[in-house]
Structure 1
């Protein structure tokens, strides 16, 4: 049975919001990672990678807001500190001092991590009948899998 955010039990809203906060944290770290690589990429593939990293961080910036707004619709607190996000995230910061191939690999792994985190968040939402959150997680996961594919293609 599909439920709206306000109709969900408090424990269901908390579990879903926790999973979404994990997703926001990892998206925020991946956003900065992509921006860092956008600024620092060099080499023969500079142009396409510069553009791809920009496309990724612009997508992720919007995604952070969409995920955080869903947390608020669940009447929960959206983590808003960089320190909290960095601490929570499975995606780690990078200093940007790397070859273009290393940047691609690091960003690919970040996209795969995000896709997995969002799949998990979507499963929690589905378990509680929150199809709106599940749908958001599916859509975001598909974007991250697409970015991972783009990045893998640069390494082939």
Structure 2
């Protein structure tokens, strides 16, 4: 049965919010990763990679807000500290000292990690009948899978 945010049980909200905060954390770290690579990419692929990394960080910045606002709609606290996000995230920072191919591979792994996290968050939401969160997670997961595909295509 489909539930609105206000109709969800406390246990359901707790599980969903935990999954969403994980998603926000990983999206935030991936945002900075993409911006770092955007600033530091060099070589023959500079132009298209500079543009792709910018497209990613701009997308991810908006996604952070969408995910955090869903947490707030569930009447919960959205993690808002960098330290908290870094501690929680499975996506890891990178110092930006890398070849273009290393940047692409790191960003590909980040996108695949995000897609998997969002699939998991969507499944938790679905288990509790929260179709609005599930839909958000599906849409975001599709975006990250598409970015991962773009990045894999650069490495082929």
Matched length? 156
Q: What is the alpha-carbon distance in structure 2 between the residues aligned to residue 128 and residue 91 of structure 1? A: 26
Q: Does 1:144 align with 2:149?
A: no
Separation in structure 1 between the aligned mates of residue 11 and residue 106 of structure 2, nearest angstrom: 35
Structure 2 residue 101 is the aligned partner of structure 1 residue 94: no
- Aligned residue for 1:80, secondary structure, equals coil
RMSD: 0.2
Aligned to 1:133: 133
What is aligned with 2:113? 113
- 2:136 partner SS: helix
Q: TM-score w.r.t. structure 1 length?
A: 1.00
Q: Distance in 1 between matches of 2:137 and 2:91?
A: 18
Structure 1 residue 90: deviation in Å? 0.3
Query: What does the per-residue CA deviation read over 1:14-49, in whole Å, with 9 as the maximum and x for residues that have no partner?
Result: 100000000000000000000000000000000000
Equivalent residues in 2 for 1:7-156 (5 A)?
7-156=7-156
Q: CA deviation at 1:67?
A: 0.1
How much does 1:123 deviate? 0.2
Q: CA deviation at 1:113?
A: 0.1
3-state SS, counterpart of residue 72 of structure 1: helix
Q: C-alpha separation between the residues in 2 aligned to 1:6 and 1:96?
A: 43
Report deviation, 1:63.
0.1
Residue deviations 1:104-151, cap 9 Å, x none? 000000000000000000000000000000000000000000000000
Instruction: Provide the C-alpha distance between the structure 1 equivalents of 2:131 and 2:36, rounded to a whole number of angstroms.
Output: 35
> Unpaired runs of 5+ in structure 1?
none
After superposition, give the CA deviation of every residue in 1:24-81 in whole Å (9 maximum; x if it has no partner).
0000000000000000000000000000000000000000000000000001100000
